[in-house]
A and B are shown apart, each in its own frame.
Chain A
């Protein structure tokens, strides 16, 4: 019999009005990577928070066994001392402290209350050496890329002699190279006997790294299988509770005339004078067509759209034409007036005012048109808002629900509604499905197709290649601020696009 390092049995947890976990069972063996997958709201984070002691013992039902012994974690500290380390999506590092200081934060080696800096730095160095990391222990965490920060978190977990490491969406902000490094380290740790729980929406990574996969849905364990004995479609089907033959519905777009054209757009890095983030990029968007912009992180995708929209702080040049007429865009309101809508990335930071209502968020960019030039009319707004909410199938008690209480998918729909209410001719979408679950993604995809069919020109930026390829009629590829390829839908294979995105190949349409 295989001994379990960790067993969680019949775990239940209720919040007012919702049963978040309903008899979930989960186990973990030493030296394995066990993936935990499920749609947002399936109960993954709740389960992890119970393990981490965030929801202390009497607040949940069921039993937790560590090496066969029943444990009741009353606090985060309890759980940490039992050798459980959780690395959350939002990293918990102090940005202005050094790498070594962060690793030993709260547990600094001391004598008579005075920190022994030599010991602290040499122990930190040893930890990083063990992980084959070349990070300067004295450098402030602020100066590290997100990927390295993640690795520092792992080093910190190991410094606490963690036997169980929980990784919550560890690759969400990493480049492919950083993901490779991370996976190398995870493999190392696995060989050393560390057990890991790996939470991710990215199934290709899950299949690449994990030994077993547990699917949660609606607070219940659906099943646990050995990774080699299942495949992506089967896991997706279990996650959503229905079979997903076709994530990307086949859409028939009628390409119309050119609505939008950008010529020779160049954007300078505001903090590094002379460095170009976008280097003479041009593209056209046609009525009724989805244009995909592919590229890795740092390729200048978002900067290109931000600059066109008048919202990038860097110096920029180039020409923008709407309906063949050249326009000047100095600030976002110029862009909006000329029929450009922009569903920005990171909805919490750039898209929504989280403690205002859905309605106020939806009408923010079109207030003067929908509600009145100076005096607003809540009724006129509500009427427009209700229509948009129905059209986009926003699930909420009413349009007066506070936006921050919605699920990610519905929040994204609110941002989409905000921009549709400005009556755009061309709609920019930057990472429109980041961090939302499979079911909600499909709904967004269906909306994108519907909008294109209704004659909108759509420019789609996404770091998820399948998404760009699945939705776009045409794809342009950026690499280090330059266009390195242009493809029609039929020619855009993942391999061809990726080789342009990494700078290996160039190709003209």
Chain B
């Protein structure tokens, strides 16, 4: 053992990562299928992946995707949040009702409501030791009740133009290009900095060609993405939020002590506690983040729909949980990635969007989505048994 060796930087296929790659392939297969199925006389190459529809597909993913990122953190910590649908409804309703206070207060109010509810539920779970399933099952009903009381059952339209634009507007294509340049610069910079750090720690550095590949491949994806979005009028604002939340969530879970502790708590709470980790604090934090993200999702949803109705957000918690699970998250805690969760959300909305394009009947859409969820996990179990 003369020279310490490490595999950092090489492609490491852990179970959860392997699952995510499988799902990435599944997503591409779904896209190609719908592209093929939507070929008609007006769309000789298919309609599904065209700029307009693809942009719409991503906008449809935004709300579920934002919720899935928060849900992932809660599930990884070994908990669950069944109340997010009701929180989306309540926070959205409060944002719509407080429009009279002005734009900023009403937006802040929605996120603050989500955060407060997350803090309350998180406290009950972490400090009072009530199982999260129970706390949030109670929340699911109670918060829906609060909406009915506050709105008296009425649907409230969104009147502030900027609020409305959150769900519908596009960024100027030039801003999209600027963001792409920024993104490519960031990727280049982190790769170079990372390699310097490896050198400093005495680890093996990557070859120049490897670094170039790690910069060029994501750059091509970014450029293609921006070109496609700009063809449809620019980056949709909800998609910007989804990207920002996903990037922040990925960073938080993979590159911070907070993220590491969440995985440790979910993976083995006893070992985590004996390693000096304050379990309660981090579980509370995960619920707070989930709440705040539910608040943000409520704004995107309300803005997109154009009004806050008392039953808004119903069943959204199940879409968020399904996204996580399809993306390889273990409901037992300790395993899962933000990448996988967002991928799961994208698979669900692709199925929704594609089946609507094909005029698949409503009942069949439900059956297919349910089947995909069970099949994804079944496939995983099968693979694990063989491996």
B-binding residues in A (CB < 8 A)? 309, 311, 331-333, 335-337, 342, 344, 349-356, 360, 364-365, 367-368, 371-380, 382-383, 386-387, 390, 398-400, 402, 418
Contact = CB atoms under 8 A, between A and B. Distances in A.
A400 B8 contact: yes
A332 B274 CA distance: 6
Given A367-B260, A374-B258, 10 more contacts: A311-B274, A331-B276, A332-B275, A355-B15, A360-B263, A372-B257, A379-B201, A382-B8, A382-B201, A387-B4
Of B1, B273, B275, most A-chain CB atoms within 10 Å: B275
A18 to B, nearest CB: 15
B12 A376 contact: no
Contacts of A367: 257, 260-261
A353 B203 contact: no
B257 A400 contact: no
B172 interface: no
Interface string B67-81: 000000000000000
A349 B274 CA distance: 11
Interface in B153-200: 194, 197-198
Contacts of A376: 255-257, 259-260
Contacts of A349: 268, 270-271
19 contacts: A309-B274, A331-B276, A332-B273, A335-B276, A350-B270, A352-B271, A353-B271, A353-B334, A360-B260, A360-B263, A364-B275, A365-B275, A367-B261, A374-B258, A376-B259, A378-B8, A382-B6, A382-B203, A390-B4
Contacts of B259: 376
B281 to A, nearest CB: 11
For chain B, which range describes its interface: under 10, 10 to 19, 20 to 34, or 35 or more residues? 35 or more
Contact of B267 (A335, A355, A372, A400): A355
A400 B264 contact: no
Contacts of A390: 1, 4
B77 to A, nearest CB: 13
Contacts of B260: 360, 364, 367, 376
B276 A398 contact: no
A379 B194 CA distance: 8
Contacts of A354: 267-268
Contacts of A400: 6-8, 12
Given A331-B278, A333-B277, A379 B203 contact: yes
A331 B12 CA distance: 36
A372 B255 CA distance: 10
B272 interface: yes
A380 B271 contact: no
B14 interface: yes
Contact of B271 (A351, A374, A387): A351
Given A352-B268, A379-B194, A383-B202, A398 B274 contact: no
A331 B278 CA distance: 9
A376 B252 CA distance: 10
Given A333-B276, A376-B260, A350 B271 contact: yes
A169 B335 CA distance: 33
Contacts of A335: 276
A353 B270 CA distance: 9
A276 to B, nearest CB: 23
Contacts of A398: 5-7
Contacts of B261: 367
B198 A371 contact: no
B201 to A, nearest CB: 4
A309 B276 CA distance: 10
Contacts of A372: 257
A349 to B, nearest CB: 6
Contact of A375 (B5, B203, B256, B263): B256
Nearest to A350: B270
Given A379-B8, A383-B202, A383-B203, A356 B264 contact: yes
A265 to B, nearest CB: 18
A373 B267 CA distance: 22
B136 to A, nearest CB: 25
B14 to A, nearest CB: 7
A415 to B, nearest CB: 9
Contacts of B257: 367-368, 371-374, 376
Nearest to B194: A379
Top 6 nearest A-B pairs (CB, nearest first) are A333-B276, A386-B4, A353-B267, A383-B201, A365-B275, A336-B276
A418 B275 contact: yes
A98 B37 CA distance: 60
Contact of A379 (B1, B198, B256, B273): B198
Contacts of B1: 390
Contacts of B258: 374
Contacts of B202: 383
Contact of A353 (B14, B268, B276): B268
A356 B267 CA distance: 8
Contact of A364 (B7, B256, B272): B272
Nearest to A361: B271
A22 B124 CA distance: 56
Interface in B77-102: none
A336 B278 CA distance: 13
B204 to A, nearest CB: 10
A80 to B, nearest CB: 24
A240 B14 CA distance: 34
Nearest to B196: A379
A380 B201 contact: yes
Contacts of A331: 276, 278
Interface string B193-232: 0100110011100000000000000000000000000000
B93 to A, nearest CB: 35
Contacts of B271: 349-353, 364
Contacts of B263: 353, 356, 360
The winner among A335, A350, A372 for most chain B CB atoms within 10 A is A350
